[in-house]
């Protein structure tokens, strides 16, 4: 994926360089930064740095299987064994299997993660399992529970956590302040971000309007708007099937416009993604450059352009819906197109409306019918 992973040290800013090589060999730390600030690259290059120090028995822990695929692409580029990347669930399952602890899965993600973490915690306490990994690096650490984070801490002397509270999209997370405690308050902050264009940041900021708890993105945006002006558009269609066809019609032009780069197509619900995937299979497009997923599954990825279909279903995503679509929009670098049928949440409509001139006052007659 062009320009996703860094190719030389000239692409790093001072804060990124400090996180990679400015920490002592045995340091644990929390890396904070907005979407597009380079947290994933920093984790990978810190793992590479540790490998140069002959500390190769490590795990890079990610939240989803799709993010694992993305992270392994980076491992190949940076000369790290892709096998060291595991999902959190895989990490816990592997540990239980290694120590011959039986477990069963319910099929419900939230229940299974609680069950597995509980089993691992009991294993560690009953058998006094030591720090068996030389380093554990955890991406999207804002989405892990107290128990999960405490397990990571127990199993290594070198714990690196990367987090952005604005992208927390799960109901079960950790106690405030716990990550800082686990790394002895060694917190590094990446101030600037480079991925998403100014218009994408403007819309994202308007979705999460709490400037105290969710610092705005556009003020620290270093995207080159002059080279490739950014774009965010909202499209209404009669049916979801019409949305799918509209996305399929846009993709060929974007594949030509952005050679060598991936385009993301994301949806709130798994059944929406499945319907699109079936249509894509018959479209004859270059599928290796099109990543189709849910908003949950697309987290952590980045695309030159992103399409978010089925936005009418955001209402069904509960209290995390704003952070879900916020995170989805910021998967894009240059363009974000959003699609809906029926009604779209008011916060999303208003956020995108900020990019257009204020509409004229309606006539009284327009309010009827």
> Would you say domain 9-189 falls under CATH 3.40.50.300?
yes
**CB under 8 Å to 122, separation ≥6 — which residues?**
none
Task: Assess whether pLDDT exceeds 70 at residue 198.
Answer: yes
Query: Distance between terminal CA atoms of the chain?
Result: 49
Specify the domain boundaries for CATH 3.40.50.300 within the chain: 9-189, 198-353
Q: Domain 198-353 sits in which CATH superfamily?
A: P-loop containing nucleotide triphosphate hydrolases (3.40.50.300)
β-strand partners of 235 = 339
Where residue 369 falls among pLDDT bands split at 50, 70, 90? low
Distance of CA 366 to the CA centre of its chain: 42
Does the pLDDT of residue 158 top 90, yes or no?
yes
% of the chain surpassing 90 pLDDT = 71
Cβ-in-10-Å burial (0-12, 13-18, 19+) of 96 comes to: middle
The tokens describing 338, both together, are 């959003």
Confidence band, pLDDT 50/70/90 cuts, at residue 169: low
pLDDT for 174: 76
Instruction: Tell me the per-residue pLDDT of 298-343, one tens digit each, with 9 for 90 and over.
Output: 888 899 999 999 999 999 988 889 989 999 999 999 999 999 999 9
For residue 161, the model assigns a pLDDT of 97
Q: Check residue 2 and give its pLDDT.
A: 47
Q: Which residues of 187-198 are buried (b: 16+ CB within 10 A; e: fewer)?
A: ebebebbbbbbe
Q: Edge-to-edge strand order for the sheet containing 58-62?
A: 85-87, 58-62, 135-138, 159-163, 29-32, 187-189
Separation of alpha carbons 233 and 287, rounded Å: 24
Q: pLDDT tens, 9-54?
A: 888 888 999 999 999 999 999 999 888 888 999 999 999 999 999 9
pLDDT at 233 > cutoff 70: yes
Res 338: pLDDT: 98
Residue 352 has pLDDT above 60, yes or no: yes
pLDDT of 1 reads 44
- The Cα-based distances of 79 to 75, 86, 182 in angstroms read 6, 17, 29
Q: Helix 88-98 vs helix 109-127: angle between axes, to the nearest 10 degrees?
A: 40
pLDDT at 209: 81
Distance from C-alpha of 244 to C-alpha of 154, rounded to nearest angstrom: 47
Q: How far apart are CA 265 and CA 68, in angstroms?
A: 18
How far is Cα 68 from Cα 289, in angstroms, rounded to an integer? 17
Checking if the pLDDT of 288 tops 70, the result is yes
Retrieve residue 90's tokens.
Answer: 């895989």
Average model confidence (pLDDT) across the chain: 91
């Amino acid at each position: 994926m062009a320009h996703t992973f860094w190719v030389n040290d000239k692409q790093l800013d001072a804060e990124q360089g400090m996180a990679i090589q400015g920490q002592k060999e045995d340091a644990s730390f929390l890396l904070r930064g907005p979407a597009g600030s380079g947290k994933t690259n920093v984790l990978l290059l810190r793992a590479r740095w540790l490998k140069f120090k002959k500390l190769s028995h490590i795990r890079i822990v990610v939240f989803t299987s799709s993010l694992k695929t993305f992270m392994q692409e980076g491992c190949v580029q940076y000369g790290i064994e892709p096998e060291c990347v595991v999902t959190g669930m895989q990490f816990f399952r592997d540990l239980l299997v290694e120590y011959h602890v039986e477990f069963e899965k319910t099929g419900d993600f939230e229940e299974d993660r609680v069950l597995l973490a509980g089993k691992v915690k009991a294993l560690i306490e009953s058998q006094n399992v030591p720090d068996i990994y030389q380093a554990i690096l955890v991406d999207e650490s804002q989405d892990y529970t107290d128990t999960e984070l405490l397990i990571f801490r127990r199993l290594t002397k070198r714990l690196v956590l990367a987090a952005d509270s604005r992208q927390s999209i799960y109901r079960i997370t950790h106690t405030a302040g716990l990550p800082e405690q686990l790394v002895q308050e060694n917190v590094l902050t990446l101030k600037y971000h480079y991925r998403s264009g100014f218009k994408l940041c403007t819309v994202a900021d308007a979705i999460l309007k709490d400037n105290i708890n969710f610092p705005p993105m556009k003020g620290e945006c270093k995207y080159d708007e002059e080279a490739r002006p950014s774009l965010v558009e909202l499209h209404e269609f009669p049916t979801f099937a019409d949305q799918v066809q509209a996305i399929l019609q846009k993709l060929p032009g974007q594949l030509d416009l952005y050679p060598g780069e991936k385009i993301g197509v994301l949806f709130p619900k798994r059944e929406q993604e499945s319907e699109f995937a079936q249509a894509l299979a018959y479209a004859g497009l270059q599928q290796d450059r099109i990543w189709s997923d849910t908003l949950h599954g697309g987290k952590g990825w980045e695309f030159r352009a992103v399409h978010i279909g089925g936005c009418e279903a955001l209402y069904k995503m509960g209290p995390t819906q704003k952070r879900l679509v916020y995170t989805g929009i910021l998967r894009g670098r240059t363009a974000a197109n959003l699609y809906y049928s029926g009604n779209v949440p008011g916060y999303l409509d208003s956020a995108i409306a900020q990019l257009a001139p204020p509409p004229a006052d309606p006539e009284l007659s327009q309010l009827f019918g």
